[in-house]
Amino acid sequence: MTPVQYVKGIGPRVAELLEKLEIRRVCDLLFLFPRDYEDLTDRREIPDLEEGALQTVLGTVEDVELRNTGPGRCVLGVLLRGANGHLRGLWFNQPFFRERFTIGQRFLFSGKPKKNGLVWEMIHPRITALADDEPPPPGEILPIYPLTEGLLQWQMRRIMRAALDAYAGFLEEVFPAEYLEAHGLWPIQQALRAIHFPDSRKALDCARRRFIYQELFILQLALAVKRHQQRTYSRAPALVATPKIDARIRRLFPFELTPSQRQAIAEIVADMGRSEPMQRLLQGDVGSGKTVVAVYAMLLAVAHGYQAALMAPTEVLARQHAQNLDRLLAHSKVRRALLTGGLVPALREAVLAGIKAGKIDLVVGTHAVIQEEVQFAKLGVVVIDEQHKFGVRQRAALKSASATTPDALQPHYLVMTATPIPRTIAMSLFGDLELSTLRDSPPGRQKVHTYLVREAERARWWTFFAKKLREGRQGYVVAPLVEESDAIDAASVQAVYESLVNGPLEGFRLGLLHGRMSSEEKEAAMRDFRTGATQVLVCTSVVEVGVDVPNATLMTIEGGERFGLAQLHQLRGRISRGAHPGFCGVFADPQTPEAEQRLKAFQSTTDGFRLAEIDFELRGPGELLGWRQHGLPPFRIADLTRDAAILDEARRHAKELIELDPGLAHPDHARLRRQVLTRYGRALDLADVG
Ligand code: ADP
Ligand code: MG
């Protein structure tokens, strides 16, 4: 809690500058890790120098020359003779530097050399003078800190040294000593000194590893605690899939299940058969067939006399789910209801009453509606579709809303996402969930061809699009993403629509879909498209999630540079569902290298897992899954791409520790517990376990 002013060398002015870096207390300062290092340990003979990298050369001053190059301007050249050649150090407009050098004196010059004709040069190298017989000192690795205007790197280093000297000794270790020993981790004080001023690369690596490990370990510990709490404090009905129930459900599916659907169902059956709530994330690329897996879980609950709820992020998708269920369950006794914002009040009241009285077995709806208003008589399972649209917050809110079952049992949870999640992210963000993955897609899927359509090629694309429509195919046209309001989006859709009916798609039957339309209008638009009454659907990215019309094989995306990779992939997923190959044209005018890379990646592969990894590399995890939106504090030093191996280790160790000491109640673990609660208590809604 000590304010930074207590550190030697920090007066009110510097304290103010540090404040801009959000450094107020000494411990903020100590944990301001360098963003990079200047490595002066790379010693070279002059013939071995390479351009560009930071290197250090030992030599003797042979010549010093100060030349005026204009009014108030000069250049100082110092010629250093090494064992096998010469190197010239150059300083611009620093005449006073001349006095530092005498002929015959030994020096180390560190910098990035460049060859000028035959001579190597370094501009403004860092210099170290050596006495005649003094051996060169071991190389240094200097920290580079994030700075703010008015604060210089050397000042920051001096402040940091002073802070370390005075305060590092007071830092408390969070890990028990045996733990550090057993896992090869450096103690905090040693690690903290070394991360700021390492003696060697090796020391730096050890120090960094300790802090990266700690950061990831605390997160994994929080997730393990969370999962433990869920297991211990909540009970769910054990819903066993007897052979008879299993056969009855499978008979409903009009196709053979894929191997990974069978696998996922087996995992769900095992979970739901236990009296702890299932907490499972089902991930599978667009079109991999997640819905039937969900239907299985719901029917299993219904078979036991429990209710099931399926929540979708949009009304369009909720309706589609309801229709699919109508088809699958046409001859069954399962009582179903659709619950969305668009119902007329009387019907809505009736549905709510039916759910409360237990007269409805299976509810499909938008998450907002189910979450806020519904009381279930006996809820057995909740399926949340397209989880990437939901945050942890919503997940938690839902849980409390549905925990109203009179027998005080929690429902089982199945969360589905079509945004494939790189393993490291899944382990971090969803570490409290078990994971099932659909790797294969249903047989007979056709390839989708992707084209980046530049301005000049638009006419050709529309000619092609029209030709395919004449062959009997259907297509989507997605208007540019505006995202300011439904009204603006609607205008944008309208504009695209007008330009098409009066232009390249004249004479075809076009429909419209956007957020400004009423539920009935939306439903009618989807129905017309599904039946083929309209050939083209001009829409906003609301079709992004889950919409399934197998005859639609054409996709045009306007303003492609404004969509994220996951969104583009979702959109393309709409057209890989039938017997005909798909064609996806992206109109794009990328203004940044990142957008360019994103579009190239999108064109290069249809593998959603690969794309998710690329997305992750381009944007980082925060953006990808809304890290902040999930309420998780950002990492200080860990990087999930780079540190995947340490993450694995941390996760394993966290699990082991929680098995031994589930409440972190042992006095040795008190500090760990405190860190877990301070950092993640709120975000993960952890009850104090102690
Ligand atoms: P998503 O995983 O994107 O939600 P869906 O569940 O909507 O995918 O399934 C996509 C399409 O594949 C649907 O038309 C569905 O009926 C069909 N489908 C799902 N599983 C199979 C299967 N095993 N064999 C054939 N078709 C399947
Ligand atoms: Mg789906």
Over the stretch 624-638, which tens digit does the pLDDT of each residue have?
Answer: 455 555 566 778 888
In whole angstroms, what is the distance from residue 632 CA to residue 621 CA?
Answer: 11
Report angle CA 155, 159, 160 to the nearest 5 degrees. Answer: 115
The C-alpha atoms of residue 655 and residue 658 are separated, in whole angstroms, by: 5
What pLDDT does 233 receive?
79
User: 58: part of which helix (H) or strand (E)?
Assistant: strand 55-70
Return the biggest CA–CA distance within the chain: 100
Torsion angles phi and psi, residue 631, rounded to 5:
80, 20
- State in Å: Cα 421 to ligand 2 middle: 16
Quick check: 140 and 108 in contact, CB under 8 A?
no
Ligand having the closest approach to the CA of 317: 2
CA–centroid distance, residue 332 to ligand 1 (Å): 21
Q: Which atom of ligand 1 is nearest to the CA of 255?
A: 24
State how far the Cα of 237 lies from the Cα of 411, in Å rounded to an integer. Answer: 7
545 CA distance to ligand 1 middle (Å): 14
> How far, in Å, is the centroid of ligand 2 from the Cα of 44?
60
Mutate to test the pocket of ligand 1, among 255, 257, 293 (most ligand atoms within 8 A of CB): 255
Beta bridge partner(s), residue 130: 106
Nearest to 296 by CA among 257, 330, 335, 259: 257
Nearest-CA residue for ligand 1 atom 21 is 442
- Distances in Å between the Cα of 73 and the Cα atoms of 70, 96, 101, 122, 176 are 5, 12, 20, 19, 60
Helix, strand, coil percentages for the chain (3-state, nearest 5): 45, 20, 35
pLDDT score for 483: 66
Q: How far apart are CA 626 and CA 632, in angstroms?
A: 9
Measure the CA–CA gap between 73 and 84, rounded to whole angstroms. Answer: 33
What gap in Å lies between CA 202 and CA 78, rounded to an integer? 34
pLDDT at 211: 97
Q: Ligand 1 within 6 A of 90 CB?
A: no
**CA 153, 157, 161 angle in degrees (round to 5)?**
170
The pLDDT, as a whole number, for residue 245 is: 96
CA 610 / ligand 1 centre spacing (Å): 21
Predicted local distance difference test score (pLDDT) of residue 497:
94
Evaluate: CB of 547 within 6 angstroms of ligand 1.
no
Q: Whose CA is nearest to atom 27 of ligand 1?
A: 442
Residue recorded with tokens 């809505």: 348
Map residue 309 onto helix, strand or coil.
strand
- Residue 98, SS3? helix
Query: Taking ligand 2, which is a single-atom ion, which protein residues have CB atoms under 5 Å away?
Result: 546
CA distances from 280 to 188, 570, 665 (A): 37, 22, 28
Q: How far apart are CA 439 and CA 448, in angstroms?
A: 18
Angle ∠(68,72,76) on CA atoms, nearest 5: 40
**pLDDT at residue 194 in the model:** 95
Nearest to 651, CA basis, from 437, 414, 420, 435? 435
β-sheet bridge partners, residue 382: 309, 413
Eight-class DSSP state of 580: S
Structure confidence at residue 624 (pLDDT): 47
User: pLDDT value at position 140?
Assistant: 82
Whole-number pLDDT of residue 397: 47
3-state secondary structure of 130: strand
What amino acid is encoded at 123 in this protein?
Answer: I
Give the SS3 label for residue 52: coil
**pLDDT for res 446:** 79
Sheet strand arrangement including 536-539: 448-453, 582-587, 552-557, 474-478, 536-539, 510-513
257 CA distance to ligand 1 middle (Å): 9
Backbone angles phi and psi of 511, in degrees to 5: -120, 165
CA dihedral 608, 609, 614, 615 (to 10 degrees): 70
φ/ψ of 588, rounded to 5, equals -150, 145
For residue 307, report the phi and psi dihedrals to the nearest 5 degrees. Answer: -95, 160
Which residue's CA is the closest to the ligand 1 atom numbered 25?
442
Ligand showing the shortest atom-to-Cα distance for residue 441: 1
Positions of the chain with pLDDT under 70: 1, 369, 387-407, 429, 431, 483-484, 542-547, 577, 620-632, 687-690
CA pair distance 253, 180, nearest whole angstrom:
54
Listed in sequence order, the residues at least 6 apart from 394 whose beta carbon sits closer than 8 Å to its beta carbon are: 367, 371
Alpha-carbon torsion angle 615, 621, 626, 630, nearest 10? 150
Tens-digit pLDDT profile for residues 410-428: 899 998 887 777 777 777 7
Give residue-wise pLDDT tens across range 43-91: 889 999 999 888 999 999 999 999 998 888 999 999 999 988 999 999 9
| Cβ proximity of 320 and 527 under 8 Å | no
Query: What's the pLDDT score for residue 688?
Result: 61
Query: If you measure from the C-alpha of residue 474 to the centroid of ligand 2, how many angstroms do you get, rounded to a whole number?
Result: 20
Ligand 1 probe mutation, 257, 288, 415, 543, most atoms within 8 A of CB = 288
Closest CA to 686 of 229, 151, 199: 229
**What per-residue confidence (pLDDT) applies to 190?**
95
Contact present, 213 and 639 (Cβ < 8 Å): no
Q: Which residue is closest in CA terms to ligand 1's atom 16?
A: 289
Distance 320 CA to ligand 2 centre (A): 10
With a 6 Å cutoff on the Cβ, whether 289 touches ligand 1 is: yes
Whole-number pLDDT of residue 394? 46
Amino acid at position 538, single letter = V
Nearest Cα residue to atom 20 of ligand 1: 289
Which of ligand 1's atoms lies nearest the C-alpha of 292? 6
Q: Say if residues 82 and 63 touch (Cβ distance below 8 Å).
A: no
Radius of gyration of the chain (CA): 32
What does the alpha-carbon distance between residue 434 and residue 439 come to, in Å, rounded to a whole number?
16
Q: Can you read off the two tokens belonging to residue 386?
A: 């397209």
